[in-house]
Structure 1
Amino acid sequence: MSKTIVVTGAGGVLCSTLAEALAKQGHNIALLDLNKDAAVEVANKINKAGGKAIGVKANVLEKDSLLLAKTEVNEAFGKCDILINGAGGNHPLGTTSNPFLEAEDLLNKTEGFKTFFDLDPTGIQFVFNLNFIGTLLPTQIFAEDMVGKDGCSILNISSMNAFTPLTKIPAYSGAKAAISNFTQWLAVHFSKVGIRVNALAPGFFLTDQNRTLLTNSDGSLTPRGNQIIDQTPMGKFGEPEHLVGTTLWLCGEGASFITGVVVPIDGGFSAYSGV
């Protein structure tokens, strides 16, 4: 049965891959992104392949923008059945330069060098808002369509950072931990009205946001990239397609009694003690 699926952050590599996979299942896909051109590009690709999709401009931090997007979605495809909250990201102002604080770091006056004490509240707030508020607001707007209907669900995007925080990125790790907690809260809150709520927790996937942190211009790994691969039993970064199977499962009838779970997709990273 065809459903209307709304995907935020749909212009990105990971969420566009999920959208294309869901379109192949016969669902109607509404691709929401702050960059409408990126959303439309993905929609065009889906439509050319025989699917049904629209690209819609939406700011996940502005309720009025989301309400306008919802009107556009409802007019094109009817009420929303499934919401994938894919918008998120990090910010340099919420990131330390080094993984560990050393006493001499306090004397480092190099431009751009940041210790924990230099972190900018504006950058940290941006990260929390984009990830947490950017999940809460779309849920407020689109989940109302789902109340009392069969087969409706919400899929959030958490991270392995939510289980064990990575060095250097306290804002992002904390924000994703909030997503995992919010997923469980929503699962309980919506349990009586037929809405399931789950989350993916991707491990290390190469995206436009982290590529320069993990790989050099020649494609070789940076020291941080090598450190990650050494801690990943499967010995590789994730590919966007690795998220598809779990997404189809959690959004499908096969997971009709599953709610409130956060599924690691990390090549064994979370299972490995390092020894």
Structure 2
Amino acid sequence: MGILDQFSLKGKKIVITGGTGVLGKSFVHALAEAGAEICILGRSEDKIKEAVQTAENLGAKAIGLVADVMNEDSVQAAKESLLQQWDSIDGLINAVGGNIPGATIGEQQSIFDNKIQDTIKAIELNLYGTIIPTLIFGEIIADKGKGSIINISSLAASRPLTRVLGYTVAKHGIDGFTKWMATELAIRYGDKVRVNAIAPGVFLTEQNRNLLTNPDGTYAERAQKFINGTPYGRLGDPSELEGTLVYLLSDASAFVTGETIFVDGGFNAWCGV
């Protein structure tokens, strides 16, 4: 196999949870262009149809399934439905995540103003929303003895960010879960089953534009702090995650497992001096 062929996803069947979200849409675009067949999971049937159409417009084969990754029965039903259409899968991307408003404290608030139940919800969404689909869809990969699972970590797991307790705790959990699953799957199912994570930097999207920019388009103070701490001196674009995603799903990363790869313009590497 030539080196370029190793990066191809042609013919690989990939499941993506959260495929209708901000990062998920970019991931679907990357998968389609790399030649993968895609199964998109989400909670909104309309948004799923839109994502499937996007993939098909790029020439990819795609199907969509409604599922709530926080509900074991819902994910199990999606798995059973998928296996009626596909005989197996080659990859799983856990792209569900985000924060809960009540789990974020304001700049002038006490850290003890964290709403406990909302903080727990943020942990559950990011951590359990990854563990549940991995244990259900990951079994297909394990039984096949070959495939790649990708989780979404964060800068918050390495350089704890202020004001977002639940998110920070959850992403630390993602890193630990990634290493644990990578180890267990390799020992039990062989050297062709891999689990890795991507830790994105701060990306400017339509979803967070109001949080990171002022009404006049200038960067908000918090966004400027991220920029000042990034050697590249800018925020990222979701499309800049696509190459790393394809690499980790492809045969080019055959000996890479248990790793968290930062795509952050150097933020995690820099001490600020």
TM-score by length of structure 2 reads 0.91
Check if 1:189 corresponds to 2:198.
no
Does the 8 A contact of 2:22 with 2:207 survive in 1?
no
Identity of aligned residues (%): 41
Give the 3-state SS of the residue equivalent to 2:217 in structure 1. Answer: coil
Structure 1: gaps (5+ residues): 99-104, 106-113
Check if 1:97 corresponds to 2:92.
no
Check if 1:137 corresponds to 2:135.
no
Does the 8 A contact of 2:32 with 2:58 survive in 1?
no
Does the 8 A contact of 1:40 with 1:56 survive in 2?
no
Which sits farther off after the overlay, 259-268 or 44-53?
44-53
Kindly tell me the number of residue pairs found equivalent between the two proteins. Answer: 261
Q: Aligned Cα RMSD in Å?
A: 1.5
Q: Tell me which residue corresponds to 2:11.
A: 2
Q: Tell me which residue corresponds to 2:84.
A: 75
Check if 1:118 corresponds to 2:116.
no
Letter in 1 for 2:264: D
CA distance in 2, matches of 1:36, 1:205: 26
> How far did residue 91 of structure 1 move?
1.0
> Which of 222, 227, 230 matches 1:229?
227
Q: Tell me which residue corresponds to 2:6.
A: none
> How far did residue 219 of structure 1 move?
2.1
- CA deviations on 1:32-80 (whole Å, 9 max, x unpaired) are 1122221220111111221111122110100111112112322233322
- CA deviations on 1:155-185 (whole Å, 9 max, x unpaired) are 0000011001111111111111110111001
Cα distance change, pair 188–234 in 1 and its aligned pair in 2 (3 A): same
> How far did residue 148 of structure 1 move?
4.0
> How far did residue 17 of structure 1 move?
1.1
- CA deviations on 1:195-217 (whole Å, 9 max, x unpaired) are 20000000101234432221123
TM-score by length of structure 1 reads 0.91
Q: Tell me which residue corresponds to 1:238.
A: 236
Runs of 4+ in 1 over 3 A off after TM superposition: none
- CA deviations on 1:227-269 (whole Å, 9 max, x unpaired) are 1111111111111111111111111101111100000100011
> How far did residue 150 of structure 1 move?
4.8
> How far did residue 25 of structure 1 move?
2.2
Give the 3-state SS of the residue equivalent to 2:19 in structure 1. Answer: coil
CA distance in 1, matches of 2:143, 2:65: 26
Cα distance change, pair 142–204 in 1 and its aligned pair in 2 (3 A): same
Cα distance change, pair 208–69 in 1 and its aligned pair in 2 (3 A): farther
Check if 1:40 corresponds to 2:49.
yes
CA distance in 2, matches of 1:25, 1:208: 25
Check if 1:53 corresponds to 2:23.
no
> Which of 148, 152, 169 matches 1:153?
148
Letter in 1 for 2:262: P
Give the 3-state SS of the residue equivalent to 2:268 in structure 1. Answer: helix
Q: Tell me which residue corresponds to 2:72.
A: 63
CA distance in 2, matches of 1:250, 1:31: 18
